[in-house]
Amino acid sequence: MSGTRTQPGPDSVEELVDGLRVVTLPLNTRFRGVEEREVALVHGPCGWGEFAPFVEYGPAEAARWLDAAIEAAWTGWPDPVRTEVPVNATVPAVPAERVAQVLARYDGCTTAKVKVAERGQTEQDDIDRVAAVRDLMGPDARIRVDANGGWSLTQAADMLARLAPFGLEYAEQPCADVRDLAHLRVDLAHNGVDVPVAADESIRKAEDPMQVARLRAADVIVVKVAPLGGVTAALRIVDECGLPAVVSSAIDSSVGLRAGVALAAALPSLEHACGLGTGALLAADVTTDPLLPAGGVLPVRDVEPTEDLLARHASPAPRQQWWRERVRAAWAARD
């Protein structure tokens, strides 16, 4: 796909709804509290786009995901400046003894993102999981942790001091509030804890993503295509923030991952491995040629869903109708 605009988008929401394909894809490992991922796919003159906001998102937030799907299918993306994108392994909040099984799905990855601060687990569970990743991947691997805003400022300062000896590349969204992230960076520096801070939710769920830069709340920003309204919108935010960016995904099918690859491939600079290897978390996909890590990278190439797989994993009729209504609500909420 190129940056050439063929047409502004579908003529009406019913054009989207009429061609909607909704599938339910099982996961290999429970992740973000779910064991399967339901996504809706649309098709336009530029190819396929994915609309898959999580169920708790309302129409206003889902509207940005719909903009991203329309961009992929009707508008296209900026031209890439690289032909492949380095990606990290993603380790869910599994027991330490299951870490090896998870890492085995990520061919050639030398960076791992480890989920921490999972509800119902202990701090020792997090430490044991990170220790297992370091032990298995060796001293030269990059390890980052992702708390999804699950720690208070005090907890974050304490846990990152305890995890720092494992040599963290950065801590992703250790606290939910952007002001706490700014305070945390000061506290860590004051206490000699060398763990950079990355902002994720403070970018993709914020009314004002630029607050991260203004408050000096992060060393790195994590950007996702769909929640930011598309590749072009995400590129603009990265440029305005002026911070190193990591492109990540949200348990997407290969169609959704392709949009993330387009963003990572178009960034002027890419200093960190991206969180786009999450196709390895899926037990099924919509294409016979899924975007999976090979040699630690994903290629920049198009993805074509397979009709047989779309039919095999089609969601039940009530869910199909639920997604149609959701598309209509998101369309009505678009700016």
For residue 95, give the amino acid letter: P
DSSP 71: I
What's the mean per-residue pLDDT of the chain? 95
Contact present, 134 and 114 (Cβ < 8 Å): no
Sheet strands side by side (includes 34-44): 21-31, 34-44, 47-51
pLDDT value at position 31?
74
Q: Measured in Å, how far apart are the chain's first and last C-alpha atoms?
A: 25
Respond yes or no: is residue 113 known to be catalytic. no
Q: Give the angle 205-152-201 at the CA atoms, nearest 5°.
A: 15
pTM exceeds cut of 0.75? yes
For residue 298, give the amino acid letter: L
pLDDT level of residue 132 (50, 70, 90 thresholds): very high
Q: Is 172 annotated as a binding residue?
A: yes
pLDDT at 4 > cutoff 60: no
Q: Which one of 21, 37, 105, 115 is the catalytic residue?
A: 115
Q: What is the dihedral of CA 2, 7, 12, 17, to 10 degrees?
A: -30
Distance between CA atoms of 42 and 17, rounded to whole angstroms?
Answer: 8
Distance of CA 167 to the CA centre of its chain: 23
Q: Nearest CA to 267 among 82, 111, 88?
A: 82
Mean pLDDT score, 267-295: 96
- Percentage of the chain lying above the pLDDT 70 cut: 97
pLDDT value at position 108?
97
For residue 64, give the amino acid letter: R
Distance between CA atoms of 166 and 116, rounded to whole angstroms?
Answer: 14
Helix (H, G, I), strand (E, B) or coil at 224: strand
Q: Is 200 annotated as a binding residue?
A: yes
pLDDT at 140 > cutoff 80: yes
Alpha helix (H) ranges present in the chain? 13-18, 59-70, 99-103, 123-137, 153-163, 178-190, 201-204, 211-214, 225-228, 231-241, 254-266, 307-312, 317-333
- Percentage of the chain lying above the pLDDT 90 cut: 93
For residue 58, give the amino acid letter: G
pLDDT value at position 5?
37
pLDDT value at position 7?
52
Distance of CA 8 to the CA centre of its chain: 26
Distance between CA atoms of 212 and 185, rounded to whole angstroms?
Answer: 12
Token pair 């719909």 is found at 66
Mean pLDDT score, 56-66: 96
pLDDT at 295 > cutoff 90: yes
For residue 84, give the amino acid letter: E
pLDDT at 199 > cutoff 50: yes
Residues 228-269: tens digit of each pLDDT: 999 999 999 999 999 999 999 989 999 999 999 999 999 999
Q: Is 50 annotated as a binding residue?
A: no
For residue 27, give the amino acid letter: L
In terms of Cβ atoms closer than 10 Å to its own Cβ (0-12, 13-18, 19+), residue 138 is: exposed
Q: Which one of 129, 144, 185, 224 is the catalytic residue?
A: 224
Distance between CA atoms of 8 and 208, rounded to whole angstroms?
Answer: 26
Domains and CATH numbers, the chain: 13-77+308-333 (3.30.390.10), 84-305 (3.20.20.120)
Contact present, 181 and 150 (Cβ < 8 Å): no
- Token pair in block for residue 111: 């960076």
Could you give phi then psi for residue 146, rounded to 5 degrees?
-130, 115
Distance between CA atoms of 143 and 127, rounded to whole angstroms?
Answer: 12
Mean pLDDT score, 269-289: 96
Sheet strands side by side (includes 89-91): 89-91, 111-115, 142-146, 168-172, 197-199, 220-224, 245-248
Helix (H, G, I), strand (E, B) or coil at 87: strand
Distance between CA atoms of 133 and 156, rounded to whole angstroms?
Answer: 20
Residues 107-125: tens digit of each pLDDT: 999 999 999 999 999 999 9
